[in-house]
Amino acid sequence: MPSDADQTETLSPIDRVIARVQKTYRSWTRHTTDQEMRADWDALMWSDAAPASVVETSAGGVPAAWIAAPNADAAKVVMYFHGGGFRVGSVRSHRDLMARISAASGSRVLGIDYRLAPEHRFPAALDDACAAYEWLLAQGFGGGDIALAGDSAGGGLALSLALALRERKRPLPAAIVTLSAWTDLAAERQSYQTRKEADPIHQRQMVLMMAKGYLGADADADPRDPLASPLHAALHGLPPLLMQVGDRETVLDDSRDFAAKAQEAGVDVTLEVWDGMIHVFQQFPEELPEATQAIAAIGRFLQRHFGAGARAV
């Protein structure tokens, strides 16, 4: 009988990635602690394949790290919010992706280790994002020198931060980039059904469990709160936006519906739906050429929009 290694070798690149992620997911039981899941996720995703310097810092009291590829422009910064359902993920798990975005965009990346649930529920992550952004402004960066980016829950958090800044009439960033953004914590989009069979990783039951962990189980926890689920917000006045998502994802419509609503509100939106790709496929550039191509597109988008000047409402 062939071994697991032999069977993996016969798989396509995308299926090898899926098998690796599924192996981690399937190792978790109801007895697995949050700390164990976080360690497993960091071990699964961590890579230092892309050259970059890493300098830990405190961004307004929020743990963070400067990630800079060689020759990155220190005057431009991408604030990056990692994914993980607000429960797992870290600057460590996303180190390689941030390094590649730094190289592609020619700017430094500031990875934000925002507080995680269930220890720290909504709006703790958003409070940390706001504090870190205000810290950057206090360091002398203008809105036109800052972009926001994030994947999955972090993509939703980047959008929520922009909405919070707009409401507070603070300088808005030059641009926003999302990868497989989770924009609706109520998980009501049609793609939870239409992509149910195609998505090998994220199903609605798990998504709702993550949302409950982030929002809490009490009656006042509203999954449609616009600052938790930015799809339910008024979207006027947001900066230019690039949204990338895989065609196989149950959260596909979290990006498609957000992009359509934002365009109706007058926002400059670019939506890229990548055929055959899974949730945050950009984290696997060593195996997926599509990931390399997507990161290059992110770099071009950010280069176009940096330096356009501070945006305020």
Catalytic residues: 152, 249, 279
- The Cα angle at residue 134 between residues 283 and 78, in degrees rounded to 5: 25
Residue the block writes with tokens 């400059």: 268
Q: What sections of 123-251 are H helices per DSSP?
A: 124-138, 153-167, 191-194, 204-215
As a whole number of angstroms, the distance between CA 174 and CA 238 comes to: 10
The neighbouring-strand residues paired with 213 are: none
Q: 92 and 54 in contact (C-beta within 8 Å)?
A: no
Is 111 within 8 Å of 77 (Cβ atoms)?
Answer: no
Pairing verdict, β 107-112 and 269-274: unpaired
C-alpha pair distances (Å), 287 with each of 143, 249, 292:
35, 19, 9
DSSP state of 293: H
Tell me the three state secondary structure of residue 57. Answer: strand
The span from the CA of 306 to the CA of 47, in Å, is 27
CB–CB of 106/72 below 8 Å?
yes
Nearest residue to 5 (alpha-carbon basis) of 16, 278, 299? 16
CA distance 39 to 29: 15
Question: How far is CA 303 from each of CA 78, 105, 178, 244, 308, rounded to the nearest angstrom?
Answer: 11, 6, 16, 17, 10
For the stretch 16-32, what's the b/e string if a residue is b when 16 or more beta carbons lie within 10 angstroms of its beta carbon?
bbbeebeeeeeeeeeee
